[in-house]
Structure 1
Amino acid sequence: MIISARNQLKGKVESIKEGAVNAIITLKSNSNDIITSTISMEAVKELDLTPGKEAIAVIKATEVMIGIGDMKLSARNQLDGEIVKVQEGAVNAIVTLKTNGGNTISSTISMSAVKELGLSAGVKAKAVIKATSVMIAV
């Protein structure tokens, strides 16, 4: 699969919590980061998802927020790590965070946010991703 989404975390489905319309999929990446995704039951069936099946969590960089310090949020995915690169543009920046599990996550955020948060290489931060922003591919 070749797609433009920068974040593609390979792993295995840990669990599937089925609802009437949607399911919550928990995927454990090959480097042990846990990613939660909310997808339709129809997609679960079409992808033939079962615990133990290899899958890929796909997340667009524009759907990844970067946070500093302790945060109480409803977003299910909060991956601790360290900023390894900030590629600055005129309006936005691409911030690259290496998770404590070893995955690399890219985030596209405003230059204003980069400056307000003091983001630069070496800063401890979190990649924050809503479960509804995580797609699952097989």
Structure 2
Amino acid sequence: MQVSARNVFTGTLTAVVNGAVNAEVELTTAGGDKLVAVVTEGSVKSLDLAVGTPVVAYVKAPLVMLLVGVDGMRFSARNQLSGTVSALTRGAVNTEVAITLPGGAVVYAVVTNEAVLELGLAVGATATALIKASHVVLGVPA
């Protein structure tokens, strides 16, 4: 299957916290990087989600926000993934930014060229990707 989402994380569910309407699930990649998703309880049942389930998480790059120099700041986004900028692909209006996480997974964000300049993003710089848990879509092998 091919998808248009730039961010594709494969891993195993390492936590499932059920609620009345939604559940919070944690995916851990082979390299140890973690991503949290919020899904409906209906999805938990229909996808048969449980600890140990292999899953694939998808996040579109424009939904990823980038931060630099955030020491001492707290954010409501469940996924705060810090790593090293490994590539910048500049376009006429936007730039695709690749951030390699400590475990080896890569997070892609699409931000304006102005944002790249304002944040001082360059290959080798440290940056943090913020992803709302509700923006993570999960899939399981059929």
1:79-94 correspondence runs (5 A): 79-94=81-96
Q: 1:18 is matched by which residue type in structure 2?
A: N
1:1-138 correspondence runs (5 A): 1-69=1-69, 70=71, 71-138=73-140
How many Å separate the matches in 2 of 1:50 and 1:73?
27
Runs of 4+ aligned residues of structure 1 deviating over 6 Å after TM superposition are none
CA shift, 1:57, in A, is 1.3
How many Å separate the matches in 1 of 2:130 and 2:102?
14
Q: 2:42 is matched by which residue type in structure 1?
A: E
CA shift, 1:112, in A, is 1.3
Q: 2:97 is matched by which residue type in structure 1?
A: V
So what's the TM-score if we normalise by structure 1? 0.96
Residue ranges of structure 2 left out of the alignment (5+ in a row): none
Q: 1:136 is matched by which residue type in structure 2?
A: L
How many Å separate the matches in 2 of 1:65 and 1:42?
28
Identity %: 40
CA shift, 1:81, in A, is 0.5
Aligned residues: 138
So what's the TM-score if we normalise by structure 2? 0.94
Give RMSD over aligned pairs. 0.9
How many Å separate the matches in 2 of 1:82 and 1:15?
26
